Structure 1
Amino acid sequence: MGQTQSDEGRAPPSHEKLTKELANRFAEKCFTSLELISFKDVFRSLADHEQNVRYLKEDTIARFLEVPDGVGASAVIFQMMSYVGAFPFLQDAPAVLGLEQMVMVITIMTERYRIVLGKGAADRRKLLFRSLAVYDRNLSEVPSDKGVARAAGDYVVEDDGVGKREMGVAIDEVIDGDEDKMDECEVDGLVLAAFESLEYTGALEHKAGTTPVLRDAVIPADNFRRLLLLLLFVAPLGAQDSLSAYSDHVSGAELGNLKRVADCVLRAFIDVERSPGIKFRRFNTIIRALMPSIFDGLTPLVEHFLFSKNLDFHRHKDGPVAPPKTSQPVLQDTGTIMNSAVLSQLSFFLPGSSLFRRTRLLYSGGDDGFSMGSFESKVFNWRAPTLLLVSGTRLPDEPGYKSTGAEYSFLTTLPSKRFSRGSADKEGRLTFGLYVSQPWKHTHRECFGGEDTYLFQLEPFHDVFPSSASNKDYVSFTKPSAATSHAGISVGCSPPQGSQAYRRSNVVTLGAVSLVLDGSFEFGCFTNNYTSGGGAFHTSVARNFDFQDRFEVTNLEVWGCGGDKEAKHQAEHWEWEAREAEARRRINLGTGDIEADRALLEMAGLIGTNRSGGSMG
């Protein structure tokens, strides 16, 4: 109260003075003394000088951070920095990136501001959205289909009595939680907190009208796609890691993988064929639900400004320069489904600390055989979290198409009622996955898995289905036998019933949100029964409609997440299995001599007689 009275009799402080005061507070509270010295040295060495003003240019920042040309994100990241650098007077953006402005950029983009302001992630998301958005009322208007329903369940236009509205992946439809109910005309929460921290209540008069309202703000789709490429690229970045160490990720096939993954992630935000940009409600909802860690890679990237190569305290003055640190491969093994871009995509919602440089290929259907026995021998002894990835091609669903053979047999085990497919992509390529922290085991009366289990889709649409605490039917593994009704892997379904239930029905009971693979790993089915409200897993936040994808499996992989201890235990088990198999082979065949063994098999009538086996006749 006293501060308000003292403000009335004098002119308010200038923006420059308040900015300098806040920057000094951030620097003092959020940086160590060594980081601050290093930052000033980096800025001094990079800054251009004009009319007594030192500032950083776009190409200077791009070169220093080693942003590769292949992702085309230099202009986007500079736009973000120029906006954030104007904090807390965002109406003055874009800012000239001087010393104080770069302090704002580093503090906010690395979330160090929490030490001073103590605000939550929602405020930062709103600020980052504004830093990427353009304000154009014509651009922000979502076109209408005039009542024409979209194909393949991608969008459905329905009349609710008030007028036709978009359902499904509507650009600005989904919003939930009190956190999102913000007055779009108010100043961002971080700005208010900054003014309060300066103890200048007169600055709070900037509540309304200082920045364009969010309803007119849109992130252009192409700009966001470029940013996604950069975020995928920097996701595995560690503290003080150089981006040049990952240059192979933005060339050749790896760059193609990055672009394909970026397109899948972008589809969760927008249908680029229908709308030119992403609105705030969609942006906020999707990031909260599907990719809360999407911006984590910006922290080590921006923190490069805090480490000066001229201040290397790990060597004596005039001594030899330390050799550059060799970077451990992000992905130690090669897979058909998994690659470095997919690993980065997974880190958007799973802890990167358990993924990068810590995943090992345990099972590959293409190499180890598409059988449950091979799956069991390769996966069951891994005592740490695992990632199951399955890819396939969507089964035809056109009118008049009739399935035959194994496909027909699989489809007869599914309920006759089905939903439209989950996306309208033309290629029909699908990739689903499962993250489970508990070791795999045979399912008898109950499923395994915990509340940290995730079911997800990676392609062609990025989607995540977290587990529910109210239903424990997470994962089941059931091998073929006379005592079980259905063999295979089921996620989100109740355990297969015994032989009595099998006599009553040959149809699988699909969970509300579920993934089913048959016992031969030939076919699969993913279901999102949005109307039901969910079961063991929550329904899709990104697609608010019922959908189902039936597909033929092309690849199946399981990756172990863990350290050297788990890998050593698994390797020892595989070595033991190999020794046991060799011992059994020698016992069965005698000497181990190939010619003698062949003669023995011929005498038994097992080979060389044009028969499939021996005879009792």
Structure 2
Amino acid sequence: MGQAHSEEVRSKEDIAAELAEKFARKCFEPLELYCFKDNFRSLADHEQHIRYLKEDVIAKFLELPDVLNVSPVVFQMLSYIGAFPFLEDAPAVLGFEQMIVCVAILTDRYTKSLAKGAATRRKLLFKSMAVYDRKLSEIEKRPASPTVEAGEDDAMAGRSHAPGFAVDEAGDDDDDEGVEDADDDELVLAALDSLDLNDSFKTGDLHAASTHGAMIPADNFRRLIMLLLLIAPLSPPGNILDGLRDTANSILSSLINVERTPGITFAQFQRILPANLPFLFQGFNALFEHFLFSRNLDFTKKHKWTKSGSDIDTTASPPPSPPAIRRVRTSSSSLPPLLPDKGQHILNPNIVSQLSFFIPGNELFRRLRLLYSGADAGFSMGSFETKVFNWRAPTLLLVSGTRLTESSDSHHHAQGAEGSFMDSLPPRRFPDGSPAGRSEDRVVFGVLVKQPWRAAHRECFGDSDTLLFQLSPVHDVFRASVVNQNYVSFAKTPAAFPGITVGCPSPKAATQSRHPTIRTLGPVSLVIDSSFEFGVFTHDYTSRGGAFATSSARRYDFQDRFQVEDIEVWGCGGDEEAKGQRERWEWEHREAEARRRINLGTGDREADRALLEMAGLVGNNRSGGSMN
């Protein structure tokens, strides 16, 4: 009875303050908490003994660019998350306790305090950006209008690009409503459980702000994506705003058909982000850790740093700065450049940020080295091999091109190299992967390969960590299968179909095809011909099988045939990897030179072979060239 009575008199304000104190104690280092308090005191406004932060103050402190007009979106998110765990009371006034909760959640530090709920953070972020509008909800439920001309084949109409977006499919959101009830409040309940509260505090209106009928306005999310692209590298170059909107539009296009849909539903958000953009919100960590470093901190004075509840005494030397603070304080001039500043390439700072949304940033930022560029080294497989082979670290292959429309590659019009390439493709062609338009005619595809490149005449190389992806005009990621291992092939003449293939059967299997003059394309695959002039990306959603998974965003068949503009390969590594590649090339050159200079002339083939084995040039799995 005493315990029940004690909990009955505790108000929501008391519980929220207790949770904030727990976050402060478990999620922050003493020095970080000291800096947080100092920043809050210097930034807060006063009103009737209440100290709180305003939107313009937060925007200025975080240095949010005015040109993006993103501060209202960020402030809406903070005002919602600040009400945690009583989200039905949002928006919250952003006082000290509310900001502690916001920073702990937005930097993922809350996981140090809450054992459960990590999986539902994405839902909390969705709700913090969503609006509840009856008109939007009606548009959401409206069935897609036909986009194909009357008289076209019904099957082709079903594969048209426009209805393929998940938001346009009737009943799509209903599939997730049952799941929502099961996990909607996991994060909230984990927070209340951590405070040892009884069920009387868990039976309130926790579903007041459900995801049913909610949408993130497309323009708001576009602005947030642009901010996340901007802050992803931590120290971006000054001209990073160039092309920022185009990159954001490619990412937004993986979620919605921008021309027809006003906002993003939770069904899309929940399904597409884990597959295509798992690290989208990683940039929040560095952004909101700005609150954990104070410019007023004087390290020349001696302080004593101890935790006493939420209080900190200052009478002795501070401990070493936590990693987050050291990173913020590091001068950008001491860091290597984000990318080599040499000419125009497919890969630019915006694309690097886009890649970091599905590839861990520690594999990308300041670790990329240009190994091969067709524009610089020549468009040939020989140049590619010379520049890329013997690199013993992950590589990124990027190819850009101009899409060939169905009319332009008609057999009645295509001639020469283009006609030969088109003739090698299966006659059945799927619709384009996105609506035709000036900007949509340029496509960018890529593949992340963790294994070294090598000639593959019998089997493919790569592993289950290989990633096939599209960056423009639609952002999409196709993850590798663990069963079908037809990942990557590099085959030169005399292979039946020389070139680079990703997701296609091995060259040996292709030569055994029933139609030896027609390429065998994988269900989800990328093909670049041996002249590096033309390419084709295929997404056979109907077949479902293959070396790479089908799209979580575009659930229909499509194919993009394109004329190559440029091909690049970037090595994910530094000077050590470059030195190792150089040493391996030098060793191979010496071996080849030694073989060339040998002039035995005995006429005894067996004796010649014995001498070569003694020299270590054949045997022990070394071919040493032909003995015929």
TM-score by length of 2: 0.82
Distance in 1 (alpha carbons) for counterparts of 2:337 and 2:545: 39
Deviation digits for residues 553-606 of structure 1 (CA, Å, limit 9, x no counterpart): 011000000132112334556789999999xxxxxxxxxxxxxxxxxxxxxxxx
TM superposition shift of 1:33: 1.3
Give the drift of 1:475. 0.3
Cα distance in 2 between the residues matched to 1:548 and 1:148: 20
- The corresponding residue for 2:469 is 456
Deviation of 1:6 (Å):
3.6
Counterpart amino acid of residue 328 in structure 1 = P
C-alpha contact 2:469 2:478 (8 A) present in aligned 1: yes
> 238, 241, 260: which is aligned to 1:248?
238
TM-superposed CA distance for 1:313, in Å, is 3.2
Provide the residue aligned with 1:557 in structure 2: 568
- The amino acid that maps onto 2:296 is N
Paired position in structure 1 for 2:347: 338
User: Which of residues 276, 284, 298 is equivalent to 2:284?
Assistant: 298
1:381 pairs with one of 390, 397, 406: 390
Post-superposition offset of 1:381: 1.8
Matched, 1:523 2:534: yes
TM-fit CA distance, 1:57: 1.0
The one-letter amino acid of 1:430's match is V
Could you give the per-residue CA deviations for residues 439-487 of structure 1, whole angstroms, max 9, x where no partner exists? Answer: 0000021100011000000000000000000101100000112xx2110
2:478 is aligned, of 426, 450, 465, to: 465
Residue from 102, 109, 112 that aligns with 1:112: 109
- Residue 601 of structure 1 is matched in structure 2 by none
Partners of 2:158 and 2:414 in 1: how far apart?
A: 33
Of 37, 41, 66, 1:40 maps to: 37
The 5 A counterparts of 1:162-173 are 167-171=163-167
Specify whether residues 179 and 29 from structure 1 end up closer, same or farther in structure 2 by C-alpha distance, changes over 3 A only: farther
Residue type of the alignment partner of 2:447: L
Q: CA deviation at 1:52?
A: 0.7
Match of 2:146 among 145, 148, 173: 148
Given the superposition, is the C-alpha separation of residues 480 and 503 from structure 1 closer, same or farther in structure 2, using an over 3 Å criterion?
Answer: farther
Aligned length: 555
Q: Provide closer, same or farther for how the CA distance between residues 389 and 60 of structure 1 changes in structure 2, counting only shifts above 3 A.
A: same
Q: Is the aligned partner of 1:101 residue 2:98?
A: yes
Q: Residue 546 of structure 2 aligns to which amino acid in structure 1?
A: G
CA shift, 1:110, in A, is 1.0
Work out whether residues 88 and 205 of structure 2, in 8 Å CA contact, stay in contact via their aligned partners in 1: no
One-letter identity of the residue aligned with 1:35: E
Q: Contact (CA 8 Å) 1:147, 1:157: kept in 2 or not?
A: no
Corresponding residue number in structure 1 for 2:23: 26
Contact (CA 8 Å) 2:525, 2:538: kept in 1 or not?
yes
Contact kept? 2:127, 2:209, Cα under 8 Å: no
Kept after mapping to 2: 8 A contact 1:486/1:496: yes
Q: How big is the alpha-carbon RMSD for the aligned residues of Structure 1 and Structure 2? A: 3.2
In structure 2, what is the equivalent of residue 280 of structure 1? Answer: 266
Amino acid at match of 1:479: K
- Aligned residue for 2:536, secondary structure, equals strand
CA distance in 1, matches of 2:467, 2:370: 19
Secondary structure of 2:179 counterpart: coil
Query: 1:24 offset after TM fit, Å?
Result: 0.5
Match of 1:348, SS? coil
**1:67 correspondence with 2:53:** no
Question: Which residue in 2 is equivalent to 1:546?
Answer: 557
Report the alpha carbon displacement of residue 136 of structure 1 after superposing the two structures with TM: 0.9
Pairwise CA distance, 1:187:
5.1
Tell me the CA shift for residue 229 of structure 1: 0.3
Please give the alpha-carbon distance, in whole angstroms, between the structure 2 residues aligned to 1:409 and 1:134. Answer: 53
1:434 pairs with 2:447: yes
Structure-2 change in CA distance of 1:112 and 1:567 (3 Å): same
Q: Which residue of 2 aligns with 1:362?
A: 371
Instruction: Please point out which of 494, 503, 519 is paired with 1:508.
Output: 519
Q: Supply the AA of the counterpart residue of 1:223.
A: N
> 1:172·1:280 contact (CA, 8 Å) conserved in 2?
no
Match among 199, 202, 205 for residue 204 of structure 1: 202
**Mapped partners of 1:205, 1:503: distance in 2:** 65
Deviations 1:79-112 (A, max 9, x none): 1111111111111111111100001001111111
SS in 2 for 1:310: coil
SS of the aligned residue for 1:183 comes to helix
State the distance in 1 between where 2:543 and 2:291 align: 50
Match of 1:183 among 169, 180, 183: 180
Distance 1:24 1:441 in 2: 56
The Cα of 1:194 is off from its aligned counterpart by: 1.2
Give yes or no for the alignment of 1:537 onto 2:511: no
Partner amino acid, structure 2, of 1:19 = A
Alpha-carbon distance between aligned partners in 2 of 1:498 and 1:344, rounded to the nearest angstrom: 38
Partner SS for 2:14: helix
Residues 1:407 and 1:425: Cα distance change in structure 2 (over 3 Å): same
Q: CA deviation at 1:181?
A: 4.6
- Give 1:188 shift: 2.3
Q: Identify which of 257, 262, 267 aligns with 2:248.
A: 262
- Give per-residue Cα distances to partners, 1:293-328, cap 9 Å, x unaligned: 0000100110110111222538889xxxx9945243
Comparing 453-462 and 562-571, the one that deviates more: 562-571
Counterpart code for 1:339: N
Question: Is the CA contact (8 Å cut-off) linking 1:149 and 1:156 kept in structure 2?
Answer: no
Check the 8 A contact 1:176/1:285 in 2, yes or no.
no
Is residue 232 from structure 1 mapped to residue 222 from structure 2 by the alignment? Answer: no
* 1:408 aligns to 2:398 (yes or no): no
Name the CA distance, whole Å, in 2 between partners of 1:353 and 1:314. Answer: 33
Instruction: Verify the 8 A CA contact 1:26 1:103 in the aligned structure 2.
Output: yes
Q: Aligned partner of 1:527: which letter?
A: T
SS of equivalent to 2:281: coil
**Compared CA separation, residues 192 and 385, structure 1 to 2 (3 A):** same
Give the superposition deviation at 1:409.
Answer: 0.3
Secondary structure of the structure 2 residue equivalent to 1:79: helix
* SS class of match (2:241): helix
1:102-146 alpha-carbon deviations (Å, 9 max, x no partner) = 010011111111122122443100000000001112112336466
Query: For each residue in 1:152-206, what CA deviation from the matched residue of structure 2 results, as whole angstroms up to 9, or x when unmatched?
Result: 99x98769xxxxxx95212175979999852359852111111122222211012
Structure 2 residue matching 1:532: 3-state secondary structure: coil
- Cα distance in structure 2, aligned partners of 1:114 and 1:175: 32
* 1:276-303 C-alpha deviation (Å, 9 max, x unpaired): 1100010111111111000001001101
* Deviates most, 79-88 or 455-464: 79-88
Q: Runs of 5+ in structure 2 lacking a partner?
A: 304-328, 594-628
Q: Is the 8 A contact 2:510 2:516 kept in 1?
A: no
2:308 paired residue number: none
Map 1:121-160; keep pairs closer than 5 Å. Answer: 121-142=118-139, 144=142, 147-149=145-147
Residues 392 and 551, structure 1, Cα contact 8 Å, conserved in 2: yes
Higher mean C-alpha displacement, 141-150 vs 358-367: 141-150
